[in-house]
Structure 1
Amino acid sequence: MPAVTDPRWDPAQYLRHAGHRTRPFLDLLARVPALPGDPPRIADLGCGAGNVTALLAERWPGARVTGYDNSPEMLDRARADHRGPAPGGRTDFVHADLRTWTPEPGRPCDLIVSNAALQWIPGHADRFADWIAGLAPGGTLAFQVPGNFDAPSHTLLRELARSPRWAGRLDGVLRHTGAVLRPEEYLERLTGPGRTADVWETTYVHLLQGEDPVLDWIGGTGLRPVLTALADDPEARDAFVDEYRTALRAAYPAGPHGTPFPFRRIFAVAH
């Protein structure tokens, strides 16, 4: 049975909604204070296709930026699309497992940042101590994670996977509501002697276009574990997607200007 943390990713599918997906990262970046290093050393955890890693290089020209991910498909796309570093800087992409990754000894980071990736790491809050210990004095840990696991897009997916038709094939494949902590829990875990934390949440209402746009969105993220689990049975995969599509159409009806898709996100910056 495929592990929930090891779905097979499709960079092209993920990037189909890159504009909407990038907006929370820009809002997170706006709250990151000045970095102490000159040049700064930046780690992007769960960099995916590298599209937000490139924004880090633009924000801090000359920085040494490294994107880390465990998906070969995503890393290949990142290396193909983002080869050119900012003048004087360096951008590279490295395979890593965030469940065990820590900054290199003797090479502290000025910024460790993660955009919509930590929800895939069970117990990710237990990694905070090691990551904060790997920051340079005055450094920052910043991340955002989806806070919509109780939204119809996710509850319908879990209910369908647990239904009699699919339970035997998909038991344990999907993430649960505990994949992320509550904002106040993040605040408690990140605040401590010598550091402060800012935690907030925002609900974006994305106006999506096209046919079955919510399915198209989820097809790049939350649906990936199911698609991976059923990859060897295209008929079953298509049948599951058809059932899910019908449920999503009822939950997210199209309006005259597109399909509204509310999406709650949780942000944290520890300095």
Structure 2
Amino acid sequence: MADWSASQYLKFEDERTRPARDLLAQVPLSKALKVYDLGCGPGNSTELLVARYPDAEIVGVDSSPDMLSQARKRLPQCRFIEADLSGWAAPADVDLLYSNATFQWVPDHLAVLKRLLTGLKPGAVLAVQMPDNLDEPSHVWMREVAREEPFVSLLPKNPRDRAILPSVGEYYDALKPHCARLDIWHTFYQHPLDGAEAIVEWVKGTGLRPFIDPLAPTERAAFLRAYTARIAAAYPPRVDGKVLLRFPRLFIVACRKER
């Protein structure tokens, strides 16, 4: 895929930052001296960490140059590094590894999370939030439109925005042996947006990218017309004219136990 677009992502900054706030509220560290924001994006989640831990060294990690450029402008006092989380390793003295809406994109991310957790010092925390919405109409219709002509002939075979998340039990069984405390939960957000077009704009910055990035401009426009029509039928207007985008998210807060 092409590089991520910080400007597209930030069109819904408040809605995207809400789960980041909810995740941070459950981190059981009153004090931290070294904090890493994994998949920091344009710095909206990093900004929350700076406010929560003003005395800490805050470091953002992301694979997108455009996202990192925006983050550096937003938070010049923080350090940001470009890295692929699949092979990235945290320093031994880190207190908090925090990640908002990133690890769903990392191949075999449960193994990566286990590796990062087991590398933490006792008492350190791994806090992660991931979208769990592949069965929502917003994502079902991406796949359905991609199976239609002419798009099935134009797109790579079986394009997917990302892999289905493992079950809660799989996360628990993999992480709990290394934890003094492990909390896992789902939250279902209901975002009121300005019609089907707003939903399309939302997913253009994330899940829709594998479906439209490979297409030529005219083909992309045709795909978006077909997809928007399906979204309009799936998300009817409410009493105030808004549509409600239901958005399930999975949260994990793991506290490292004594080795």
Q: Do these two structures clear the TM 0.5 threshold for a shared fold by scoring above it? A: yes
Asked if 1:268 is matched to 2:252, the reply is yes
Aligned twin of 1:14: 9
- Give the letter for the 2:249 counterpart: R
* Partner SS state of residue 20, structure 2: helix
Aligned twin of 2:160: 174
Query: How far apart, in 1, do the equivalents of 2:50 and 2:4 lie?
Result: 24
Name the CA shift for 1:34/1:108 in 2 (closer, same or farther; >3 Å). Answer: same
Which aligned pairs between 1:1-271 and structure 2 lie closer than 5 A? 6-34=1-29, 37=32, 40-83=33-76, 85=77, 91-104=78-91, 107-170=92-155, 171-175=157-161, 178-209=163-194, 212-230=197-215, 233-257=216-240, 258-271=242-255
Deviations 1:179-213 (A, max 9, x none): 32222222222101453210000111111125611
* Partner SS state of residue 195, structure 1: strand
Cα pair 1:41 1:109 within 8 Å, conserved: yes
Query: How far apart, in 2, do the equivalents of 1:14 and 1:63 lie?
Result: 27
Cα pair 1:46 1:70 within 8 Å, conserved: yes
- Give the letter for the 1:74 counterpart: M
Count of aligned pairs between the two proteins: 253
Deviations 1:218-262 (A, max 9, x none): 1111112223212xx111111111111111111112223211111
Cα pair 2:23 2:251 within 8 Å, conserved: yes
Query: How far apart, in 1, do the equivalents of 2:154 and 2:74 lie?
Result: 36
Task: Answer with 24-33 or 208-217: which moved more.
Answer: 208-217
Cα pair 1:174 1:226 within 8 Å, conserved: yes
Query: How far apart, in 2, do the equivalents of 1:187 and 1:95 lie?
Result: 30
Deviation at 1:36, TM superposition (A): 6.3
Task: Answer with 56-65 or 159-168: which moved more.
Answer: 159-168
* Partner SS state of residue 251, structure 2: strand
Aligned twin of 1:3: none
Query: How far apart, in 2, do the equivalents of 1:121 and 1:193 lie?
Result: 21
Note the aligned Cα RMSD (angstroms): 1.7
Query: How far apart, in 2, do the equivalents of 1:189 and 1:35 lie?
Result: 27
Deviation at 1:63, TM superposition (A): 0.7
Deviation at 1:128, TM superposition (A): 2.0
TM-score, normalisation: structure 1: 0.88
Query: How far apart, in 2, do the equivalents of 1:265 and 1:204 lie?
Result: 8
* Partner SS state of residue 160, structure 1: helix
Deviations 1:97-134 (A, max 9, x none): 01111113xx4311011101111112100112321133
